[in-house]
Structure 1
């Protein structure tokens, strides 16, 4: 295997490192994984997420805010109801591959 030379290596800037670490932080929480997995399947309101995953609405709202700040979920308003869906295909593919890896024997 070839050694990489220092002058050929392009390190990551601090902002990129921060975003990557925050994304992995988001994916390290079981509740956020469950929410993202559900939103990969379908768009949902907070009530639907809460009911489907048997979580308190306040917990769901808190986790969605965290995910929205990282641009992992997006939302749209329909009347008084807000619907959430996933917002980053790259992260969702990573999550799906990780789930597939965990299920592989």
Structure 2
């Protein structure tokens, strides 16, 4: 049986507001427009195949669509669609060499985010047991 205390175990037990801490927090809180942009960026990274494509680029520095598809185990159509979205967001860049287009990560912040995300995941309980390529 769930008690009222169980329902609110993650919340405040007593309603008491610290006006100074609230004011300081509000001063540095991101605005709604920035929150929307960041959420949209995280949505792009939230699709598993797309995330694997980004990690492939992180490891290889630069790959064409065919190589990305083979490395990740998805169709070239999936890779091409992902590259369009990621390029529009400024996450990847491309260069053409004859008829072949190569892609690479275009932002050091994205590289850092991928690195930190993987390190964070490695510290999750049971992360090793779930590791499947």
Which protein shows a greater Rg? 2
Residue from 26, 31, 35 that aligns with 2:49: 31
2:37 maps to 1:19: yes
- 3-state SS of the aligned residue for 1:9? helix
User: TM-score normalized by structure 2?
Assistant: 0.69
Structure 1 CA distance, aligned partners of 2:93 and 2:87?
6
Give the unaligned 5+ runs of structure 1: none
Shift of 1:15: 4.2
User: TM-score normalized by structure 1?
Assistant: 0.86
The residue aligned with 1:58 is 77
Aligned residues: 105
Shift of 1:17: 2.7
1:13-44 deviation line (CA, Å, top 9, x unaligned): 55433321111101111111101101111200
Shift of 1:45: 0.2
- 3-state SS of the aligned residue for 2:21? coil
Q: Comparing both chains, which one has the higher relative contact order based on Cα–Cα distances under 8 Å and sequence gaps of 6 or more?
A: 1
Shift of 1:10: 5.2
Give the unaligned 5+ runs of structure 2: 1-17, 126-133
